[in-house]
Amino acid sequence: MKVALLGYGKMGKVIEPILLERGHDVVLKANSIQPASVENIKGCDVAIEISQPHLALQHIQMCVEAQVPIVVGTTGWYDELEKVKDLVTQQQQKLLYATNFSIGVQLTFQLNKILAKWMNALPQYHPEIEEIHHTAKLDAPSGTGITLAEGILENLDRKNQWVNHSSSSENELPLTSVRTENVPGTHTVTYVSPVDSITLQHMAHNRQGFALGAVLAAEWLPNQPEGMYTMQDFLKFEI
């Protein structure tokens, strides 16, 4: 495939060799020196968008206009998700978005939902989430942290909103963010009771898991019907 990398920072530089190893051609590496445009995206088989929140919507619009399927790993733009869905649907294009492409993280998402559902019968356990990332990460909380929080809220009746700080409120789910040097990403869900704690944790050792997942999604998307997709559609995990 001919692939456009829309964003060529640290993650883009990890994705590129994986694409090359799997026999793909990286025909565009968009950055501040060589920005993406409809013209230089046209002719690509797929685009992988991993830039910054304020650029993601621009890149999506460019790919829709260029009629190129796009895999979006940037987070922080989901306030505009419904508008993007309308755009992709109206123009009969293809888009897959995810807060995290790592297969391990996707497994953690599913385990998180199962555990939250079981906890409905155990009100003595109080959940909390902590996400830790490198200091260069622009958004807080992380998209992965928000997805974990949403998975709990969907399945645990006694919580109805997440907050990005510590909280002892019965209906609030605390989701705290920590930024420190050289941490690719650690997400921890903890249920605390008066007698014990239960922890579900995903710790990324490097960026390779995210990068490989993005490439696998990019290989899959062009062969699908038009529409919006997530990693759940690709992996088909069932609970």
Active-site residues: which are they?
133, 137
E strand intervals along 17-125: 25-30, 46-49, 70-72, 94-97
Please, what is the Cα angle at 153 between 151 and 158, to 5 degrees?
Answer: 145
Please, what is the Cα angle at 142 between 180 and 111, to 5 degrees?
Answer: 110
**Inter-axis angle of helices 10-21 and 208-220, nearest 10:** 60
Pairing of strands 186-192, 126-133: antiparallel
Give whole-number Cα distances, 12 to 114, 154, 208, 221, in Å: 33, 33, 11, 19
Residue entry with tokens 């930024």 = 179
Q: How far is Cα 167 from Cα 161, in angstroms, rounded to an integer?
A: 11
Phi and psi dihedrals of 214, rounded to 5? -65, -40
Question: Which of 220, 132, 110, 218 minimizes the C-alpha distance to 176?
Answer: 132
